[in-house]
Structure 1
């Protein structure tokens, strides 16, 4: 099937997000073949399995990101012991055709797909062709932005929509840097520090102590950290605390005061201000929205 092709520069994109969700597979579950009318990113949040895109079969595992262009046949097969959980975003690079975000985005089976129903393919003038598969650790800032889009897709306020689009554009911008420099390697030392911050956000990690253990200066550690994920150690530590706070708000009845104290935010005002700046709503509003389902 031959689709229209648009040639653009990265700065010209105006993304339109139609659908974004998590999808847990059952053991050995199969979906497809199907074709999407729009562009798709499919992230393997957990588990493993197989993805067939066109005529190529890819093994897939946790923290791998796949790109599927419109009109491309694809199917999924979850592992029987460790089934996949997908975190997917369906979108257009340039908003050309009005659509609704539901199952009408897909053709299933061997149905003939009308090319006029599909979004155009996109060729970027200022970067390489989009790779089908990349490794995408969750702790990278650009993946946190990607997951933020999915987690906040139900918010319908205009400012929330703008925030989502900005997050998606920043995700694409930072992912594009990886496409341009595919040989960039992660620094295992920084990955270890990030792992500690994520697993124990209630602890105040001492950068001076880490620098001493690694035999480097604090300024050099700071530089390495920013090179690794695009933010400072302090900013990442705050991000980990806020993500843990979201989890506690979702899964427990612990009071805002107790969460503030347990995660070492210092004051309720400071915690609430940081939470609102990062997620567009206060901790209590976030909990209420999830509990009441609006």
Structure 2
């Protein structure tokens, strides 16, 4: 099961956040929860089971599972872990005042009663740039713990401002986690160096019409294969990336060189000023003329 949410629609609510120092051998589960949840190992060791998959948990390890996915955690006898738990809904509304109405987020079911659902993915972004939140990832200890420690602190304070801070923290964490995962993928991909050259050349040719055959010329792959590799590595198609470069150049021409929409469209060879204007407004949020006028303001 997969839930896909566009970045622009992400509006999370932290429904519970806590820090738990476990006793030796302490365990919880098998259980399922009603919310999405992160479990972060701050200290110590233990074992984690999520949807039938087993992991050794150590400091810096982050686990994620969605609603209905069975899971179990057990602390080591000699070095029991310290965990942060954060339950959240990807889209939700904060209360106007006071605390979020709290409902127990855990529905414990054991043995044969454990539901069969073994995996639930949360995917952020559109089809071209989707980011599947990983079930397990090892992170630098200095990166994740401050987020979870602050979220736990804010949750204990019941005014709406602190719940808003919890939302802001989670948005920042998810976007930075996406960047870390993307960068790791780039570093590990054997085609990364070649595809980085493609990105550079697309930026350099942003004032030209897009040509799909560039992909085969620059990589010696079939253009469909090159496009698929590019999308896997960077989360968007070469054409989408090229349009982004083209619009960044258009903004520079409008603001810095004070060109009109028609002049900018012709300089960048968009084909027609109407196509340029529609694309610019859809992606930038205002017309080329309005953007040009904003460039004159202080």
- Which category of TM-score, normalised to the shorter sequence, fits these structures? 0.5 to 0.7
Aligned to 1:168: 170
1:164-200 Cα offsets, whole Å, 9 max, x none, are 2111111111111112222578xxxxxxxxxxxxxxx
Q: CA deviation at 1:11?
A: 2.7
Q: How many residues align?
A: 176
SS at match of 1:95: coil
Question: Is contact 1:53-1:73 (8 Å) kept?
Answer: yes
Q: Is the 8 A contact 2:29 2:108 kept in 1?
A: no
Q: Secondary structure of the residue that 2:132 maps to in structure 1?
A: coil
Distance 2:56 2:116 in 1: 30
1:143 CA displacement:
4.2
Determine whether 1:16 maps to 2:17: no
Kindly indicate whether residue 139 of structure 2 is the aligned counterpart of residue 136 of structure 1. yes
Residue 138 of structure 1: how far off its partner (Å): 3.2
Cα deviation, residue 75, structure 1: 0.5
Q: Which runs of 5+ in 1 are unaligned?
A: 186-294
Correspondence list, 1:194-213, <5 A: none
Structure whose alpha-carbon radius of gyration is higher = 2
Q: 3-state DSSP class of the match of 2:155?
A: coil
Match of residue 159 from structure 1: 161
Distance, in Å, in 1 between the alignment partners of 2:104 and 2:36 is 14
Q: Give the CA RMSD over aligned residues.
A: 2.7
What residue is the counterpart of 2:49 in the other structure? 52
SS where residue 28 of structure 1 aligns?
coil
CA drift at 1:113: 5.7
Contact 1:47 1:85 in 2 (8 A): yes
Residue number in structure 2 paired with 1:42 = 39
1:32 Cα deviation after fit: 0.9
Aligned to 1:122: 122
Given that 1:30 and 1:78 are in contact with CA atoms closer than 8 Å, whether structure 2 keeps it comes out as yes
Counterpart in the other structure of 2:212: none
* Alpha-carbon contact 1:35-1:70 (below 8 Å) kept: yes
Indicate how the Cα distance of structure 1 residues 132 and 108 shifts in structure 2: closer, same or farther if over 3 A, else same.
same
2:180 to 132, 155, 178: 178
Task: Please identify runs of 4+ aligned residues in structure 1 that moved more than 4 A.
Answer: 112-115
SS of equivalent residue, structure 1 residue 88:
strand
Residue in 1 that maps onto 2:104: 103
The structure 2 residue matched to 1:147, chosen from 134, 146, 149, is 149
Q: CA deviation at 1:152?
A: 2.0
CA deviations on 1:95-148 (whole Å, 9 max, x unpaired) are 29x985453432332446699xxxx853332233221111222322x5423321
| Deviation at residue 81 of structure 1 after TM alignment | 0.2
- Residues 133/61 of structure 1: CA separation in 2 closer, same or farther (3 Å cut): same
Kept in 1: contact 2:64–2:136 (CA 8 A): yes
Aligned counterparts of 1:87 and 1:127: Cα–Cα separation in 2: 26
Q: Which residues of structure 2 form unaligned runs of 5+? A: 188-298
Q: How does 1:246-261 map to 2 (within 5 A)?
A: none
For the Cα contact (< 8 Å) 1:143–1:171, is it kept in 2? no
CA deviation after TM superposition for structure 1 residue 19, in Å: 0.5
1:65 matched residue in structure 2: 62
1:29 aligns with 2:31: no
Cα distance in 2 between the residues matched to 1:131 and 1:143: 17
- Aligned pairs for 1:261-272 (under 5 A) are none
CA distance in 2, matches of 1:51, 1:35: 14
Counterpart-to-counterpart distance in 2, 1:76 and 1:122 = 21
